[in-house]
Amino acid sequence: MTIGCARRITRENGATDQMDGDRSVRDVLAIADAIVAPLMNAECIDLRNASGRISAGQIRAPRPMPFFSQSAMDGFAVRTADLAGHGPWRLPVAGTIAAGDRPDPIPGTEPAAMRIYTGAPVPGAFDAVVMMEHCRDDGDVVVVGIRPVPGENIRAKGSDIARDAVLVAAGIRIEPRHIGLLAANGYTSVNVFKRPRVGVFSTGSELLPNGATGAARIHDANRPMLIALANRAGADVVDLGIVDDDLAETARFFRGIAGRFDLLISSGAASIGARDFVGQAFVEAGGTVHAWKVALKPGKPILLGTLDDRAYLGLPGNPLSAFVGFQLFGRRQISRLCGVDEPHGACGRAVAGFSLARESGRLEIIPARVVSWSKEGVPTIDIAENRSSGTLHALCQADGLAMIPAEQGSVRPGDVVEFVRFCSPR
Ligand code: AMP
Ligand code: MG
């Protein structure tokens, strides 16, 4: 895999040999795409487990839908030809058909109606259903108040979906609505692409192993969060634990897992501090750095590389930066590995209810809350006072992320800003 813009991290100081400023998010997104490719290995799974998986091929209707002509209403099946002149019309009731019944053939051609319920098969002799509300049911006789047009309230065989029509296209992320449609068409299993294998680890000698306590040490917030994010993005995730801030140990770690994951994600030690070893260790283990330092706030020290032809995403340690970096790059890479090309978040507009002094140059992503809605449905949003990248608290009070483009300077109340609302889980 050749990436024209690869940069080197030297052994001496962990810095790139081209200190030419931060790369634009757009450039780095292109690199993120270039270092992963769809895996395309398919497997057949139970339809009930398919939510979130990617369809591996077109799935077509095996039969016309509905399979038989059925009533769309509770009412009376009639022959419109029997309703001559002006109504109301009195018709003898020849029987009752409920959903699941197989109606007997209707004897003779004398005018008659049949009591029928929603979903029941409409006998071929009848060409319309009059809904119950327009009839008086006198038991053996029905009084029909209106004349239906032929075909009214009948879901004709094949009127919804023709045989061989595409139900779900290839490369679609299967949602519960797709599962419902496939089940309605008789599917119980589905071919999907295998999940990409993603390994997640944290770096930091300050991080406590699960459940432990210790002075001057902190709990590992990023690893469980990134595992959950990667899972939700469609990956088969392996927890690779915590690596201490030690160059030799980190390099050994990279060598030990090289080639085992389609994407490796870490957090921490990606900056320029004397204990920030991931870049240098990655290179010592044979990795190539394709991008480092992104014009993004928070989340500047983000490293994208390849090792043994597999992608590596080194996110910053500050939890909000790790979250933002994953949302921009990790989620996109996993989607691409999964074989799906989907837009990233439902991008919308909001009106700023806040002011923000800032200099242009970096895409800024800020947790934001909706404070009101206009009549037209446009939200006005506010941002948290504490915008530290070290806390997830504001993120968890937020309704979404405000995105201030790199070119933009300060934001004033009333400005229109891009706002990506958090979606409910699939
Ligand atoms: P680093 O990017 O390693 O310099 O870390 C930046 C800040 O994030 C430091 O305050 C770290 O203690 C903190 N940090 C690093 N990794 C984690 C983690 N997995 N969970 C919570 N905080 C972390
Ligand atoms: Mg660290």
- pLDDT recorded at residue 216: 87
Beta partners for 218? 207
Q: What is the DSSP string of 90-112?
A: EEEEEEEE-TT--PPPPPSSS--
- pLDDT recorded at residue 104: 76
Q: Rounded distance, CA 319 to CA 402, Å?
A: 17
Peptide bond into 319 cis (omega under 30): no
Q: What angle do CA 108, 113, 115 make, to 5 degrees?
A: 130
Per-residue CA distances from 121 to 139, 223, 417 (Å)? 21, 55, 54
Task: Kindly state if the Cβ of 267 falls inside 6 Å of ligand 1.
Answer: yes
Ligand 1 pocket test: which of 205, 242, 267 has the largest number of ligand atoms within 8 Å of its C-beta? 267
Task: Kindly state if the Cβ of 218 falls inside 6 Å of ligand 1.
Answer: yes
Q: Which two tokens stand for residue 284?
A: 């010592």
Task: Kindly state if the Cβ of 325 falls inside 6 Å of ligand 1.
Answer: no
Residue with the smallest CA separation from ligand 1 atom 15 is 317
Element (H, E) at 30: helix 25-34
Per residue in 186-227, pLDDT tens? 999 999 999 999 999 999 999 998 778 888 899 999 999 999
Residues 6+ apart with CB under 8 A from 298: 316, 318, 320, 321, 324, 365, 389
Total residues found in the chain within this entry: 426
Which regions in the chain score pLDDT beneath 70?
A: 1-20, 106-107, 341-346, 424-426
- pLDDT recorded at residue 343: 56
Task: Kindly state if the Cβ of 221 falls inside 6 Å of ligand 1.
Answer: yes
Report the separation in Å between the CA atom of 258 and the middle of ligand 2, taken as the mean of its atom positions. Answer: 22
Task: Kindly state if the Cβ of 272 falls inside 6 Å of ligand 1.
Answer: no
For residues 278 and 250, is the Cβ–Cβ distance under 8 A?
Answer: yes
Instruction: Name residue 295's amino acid.
Output: A
Task: Kindly state if the Cβ of 123 falls inside 6 Å of ligand 1.
Answer: no
Ligand 1 pocket test: which of 201, 207, 223, 229 has the largest number of ligand atoms within 8 Å of its C-beta? 207
Residue from 252, 255, 264, 360 nearest 303 by CA: 264
Task: Kindly state if the Cβ of 287 falls inside 6 Å of ligand 1.
Answer: no
206 CA closest ligand 1 atom index: 12
For residues 249 and 255, is the Cβ–Cβ distance under 8 A?
Answer: no
Phi-psi region of 357 (alpha: psi -120 to 50; beta: other; left: phi over 0): beta
Q: Report the mean per-residue pLDDT for the chain.
A: 92
- pLDDT recorded at residue 400: 96
Residue from 130, 147, 133 nearest 93 by CA: 130
Report the separation in Å between the CA atom of 205 and the middle of ligand 2, taken as the mean of its atom positions. Answer: 7
- pLDDT recorded at residue 109: 78
- pLDDT recorded at residue 263: 98
Task: Kindly state if the Cβ of 408 falls inside 6 Å of ligand 1.
Answer: no
Q: How many CB atoms lie within 10 A of CB 124?
A: 10
Per residue in 161-192, pLDDT tens? 999 999 999 999 999 999 999 999 999 999 99
Task: Kindly state if the Cβ of 379 falls inside 6 Å of ligand 1.
Answer: no
Ligand closest to Cα of 273 equals 1
Q: Rounded distance, CA 58 to CA 355, Å?
A: 49
245 CA closest ligand 1 atom index: 3
Task: Kindly state if the Cβ of 55 falls inside 6 Å of ligand 1.
Answer: no
Task: Kindly state if the Cβ of 40 falls inside 6 Å of ligand 1.
Answer: no
Residue in the structure block whose two tokens are 């944290």: 202
- pLDDT recorded at residue 21: 74
Ligand closest to Cα of 321 equals 1
Q: Rounded distance, CA 393 to CA 413, Å?
A: 24
301 CA closest ligand 1 atom index: 2
- pLDDT recorded at residue 218: 95
